[in-house]
Structure formats: C-alpha cells, structure tokens
Structure 1
C-alpha cells in the first residue's frame, strides 16, 4: 500500500493515487497539474519522514473544478442590551484528483 500525507491549505491530507480531495482555493486553472509537498510517505512497511528524502517524493494532482463550501451563519447576541449581529461565510474551495506519487 502506497500513500502520502501532503500539506495543502494549512492542513494535512492523507492521499493515494485516484483520491479526490477538496482543498482551499488554489490559483490553478481547471485541468492543470499541480504538485503538493509531502510530509510523510509510506510504501508498504517503509515509512519516510526525513526531509531530505521527502524532497524527492513527487505528489502530482489534477485540478478538477472550483467550488464553494456550505454557508455557515455567525450570530452574536448580548442579552438585555439590544446588540445582535448576523454574518455569513462561504469558503472558496478547489477539488483535485491525485494522479501520481513517485
């Protein structure tokens, strides 16, 4: 079993070849190939965490599409003062498919 843990958008994701992952918005066009930095690489029983060896690991992904996450509602309320505030947010996301781990 071959998989890697990659750093993407301030988080770490466990990926294998063929995995579809949703990341924070990337500045890449649809259909473009990107490379993600590996933090951990596992090939069968061999686990690689050394930074020098991880620099040689190439995790490539193809950008499928851009999308937006679900709307979250932020509400603030103070009792007896008449203060209330409502705000919404939708995160910009990119969906990618892992094409290779070498």
Structure 2
C-alpha cells in the first residue's frame, strides 16, 4: 500500500508527530546508538486513499526509523525571583534529543506466514 501521499501520526516521548517516508524529525531521547533502527507506535495512518484509526489494524502498521544522532537541545534558563527578599536563582537545562530519519511507513507488517507443523508424539516407555 505504498502511496504518494501516505503518512502516519506516531507517538513518542509523550508527543505526536506527522511523518512520511524520508522525513527527518527531532524527538525526545530514544535509547540507541547512531545508525540503529527503531519502531515507533502508530496512532493514525493515511495511505492516500483511506484513513485507518482502528487499533486492531494499527497494530499491524509499522513506522521504522533510523537514529541519525543523539544531542542536547538549546539551553533553557529558569529564573526565580522574590521581590524585596534578595532571592535570585538562575538555573539552566538542556534537553537530550534524538534526530530520526523515517525509513519506512508500512500499512501492514508483511511477516511471512508460517504453517503450523505438528510434531509426532514420542512413544511412551512402559
């Protein structure tokens, strides 16, 4: 079901992102080395013809991404101040982030179907 306008909405780090194949997104830190592959949770899928929101069908959908780099974001300053009390506090924070490249948006995971092979029962020793 590859479509020209195929996209998915994925959830990671408590946020949602609209992604398509070959997109590069910055998300909150995901454990892993640069070059490793990760799968993201799909919560919405549009293949250009139909929209999929059914959780049973979305469980089969896959969005695969490759970690490009791990880095820290811009410094955010937190300044606390109480007037007339000589109270000043300045604190900085840099969020750890991950840059991802979306490699594949797939409507269904095409796992090979395996046929169930029955093993013959072992003879019972008397």
Higher share of residues assigned strand: 1
- Equivalent position of 2:77 in the other structure: 73
Tell me which residue corresponds to 1:10: 14
Aligned length: 102
Which aligned segments of 4 or more residues in structure 1 are displaced greater than 6 angstroms? none
Q: What TM-score, normalized to structure 2?
A: 0.79
TM-score (norm 1): 0.97
Shift of 1:20: 0.2
Larger Cα Rg: Structure 1 or Structure 2? 2
**1:95 pairs with one of 99, 106, 117:** 99
Q: CA RMSD in A?
A: 0.6
Q: Tell me which of 51, 54, 61 is aligned to 1:57.
A: 61
- Structure 1: runs of 5 or more not aligned: none
Distance 2:24 2:14 in 1: 18
